[in-house]
Amino acid sequence: MKRFVIVAICILMAASVALAEKPAIDAKRCEVKIGHGYVDRDYDEGFEISVPPPGWTAVVTDTNDPTYTWYQDSYNPLEGTYYADCLYDYDLDPQDEWLYFDHVLQAGETHLNFGAMASYYYAVSPYQNYNTYVTVDGKIVWDFFTDHATDTSYEWKIYDVTLNQSEGDTITVGFGYVGVDGAEAAFDRVGLNGGYTPPPPPPNDVCEDALPLPNGDFELDVDTSLANDDYDPGYGGCTGYSAAGTDLVWYTDLDAGQTITVLMYADFDDSIYLVTDCADVVNSCVAGDDAYPDGSTFTYTATVADRYYLIVDGYSGSGTATVTGSNEGNVTAVEDASWTSIKALYR
């Protein structure tokens, strides 16, 4: 029965696009794709050839239906074209699915890092139906429940683990999916190197460092992949939905009667809103929109003179977007802005 329920949910979610409906947060598989910027780092395996890759081994315990174990997927990779994915068993058979590889540590290989994603809803809260693990020589060094870097389901994050072994040691690294009635989980870009340090966020990551929105007609090429999730208009607020994605900020000074129009197209489920107080986004939001899957837009005419902050966000996830519009407000001319600000406008 559950198989038919899930299929029905997927069909309904696909049909809901025209009605601007949001995908269910408790989806088992039908999550919306989220955009990712490529990460410049060393890596050992990106699952671009096969799963398991050459030299790796797979342990399949769900023998009633071995479909529900690790396989090569292309739906939503962190980088490249493919990744290692595991779906939950519709028949609710226990799953204890593993991928292993052995490696002799070379000079400078002191860290293990990898991209991972899973369902917060089914692995952390409100349910704990499954978990994903990384082991080194049989010892758990990471698991999603303990060290999830995001509360957004199916959002890729890169994790870094310091190794206790020494150069010349042979280590066995395992990637596991364990549980019953869980949800999708995946790994990508497994690296053994000197450590992964996330690049810094863009300069306009928060309102205090907001960039001036150009006067008149404008077009911004935006990439929120490296930004943080700092702001949220709240469910039922000025956009109608919460925004768990990462966000960037621009500002403009509007006089009473001046108008700003904004339109956003993205490779993720975008959200845009205009606020006067970044410390109280929910109550100071004067306009916003959250269309699905993208195409959010609004027009606002100021009733009072004030500084207004345009927050470019996402219902979930991150990625690249084009933000266009018209701004009657008064801001610092681009030629007077700092070189860092200018580069950020066109990154």
What is the model's pLDDT at position 36?
54
Domain-embedded: residue 117? yes
Domain-embedded: residue 67? yes
Residues 189 and 229 in one domain: no
Higher-confidence position of 318 and 146: 146
Residues 168 and 278 in one domain: no
Query: Among the three residues 152, 167, 193, which one is the final residue of a domain in this structure?
Result: 193
Residues 186 and 237 in one domain: no
Domain-embedded: residue 286? yes
What is the model's pLDDT at position 32?
52
Is the pLDDT at 63 greater than 80? The verdict is no
Residues 188 and 214 in one domain: no
What is the model's pLDDT at position 317?
75
CATH of the domain at 298: 2.60.120.380
Residues 51 and 160 in one domain: yes
Domain count, the chain: 2
Is the pLDDT at 15 greater than 80? The verdict is no
Residues 231 and 315 in one domain: yes
Domain-embedded: residue 80? yes
Is the pLDDT at 37 greater than 80? The verdict is no
Residues 216 and 188 in one domain: no
Q: What does the pLDDT look like over 201-223, one tens digit per residue?
A: 999 999 999 999 999 999 999 99
Residues 106 and 249 in one domain: no
Domain-embedded: residue 300? yes
φ and ψ at 128, to 5 degrees?
Answer: -130, 60
Residues 225 and 177 in one domain: no
| Rounded-to-integer distance, Cα 11 and Cα 17, Å | 11
Domain-embedded: residue 139? yes
Q: Among 44-48, 63-67, 146-150, whose mean pLDDT is lowest?
A: 63-67
Is the pLDDT at 157 greater than 50? The verdict is yes
CATH of the domain at 166: 2.60.120.200
Query: Among the three residues 133, 158, 193, which one is the final residue of a domain in this structure?
Result: 193
Residues 125 and 251 in one domain: no
Q: Residues 332, 212: contact at Cβ < 8 Å?
A: yes
Q: Give the domain extent around 101.
A: 23-193
For 160, the token pair is 């870094």
Residues 122 and 219 in one domain: no
What is the model's pLDDT at position 199?
84
> What pLDDT band is residue 41 in, cutting at 50, 70 and 90?
low
Is the pLDDT at 181 greater than 90? The verdict is yes
Query: Among the three residues 137, 169, 193, which one is the final residue of a domain in this structure?
Result: 193
Residues 272 and 167 in one domain: no
Domain-embedded: residue 292? yes
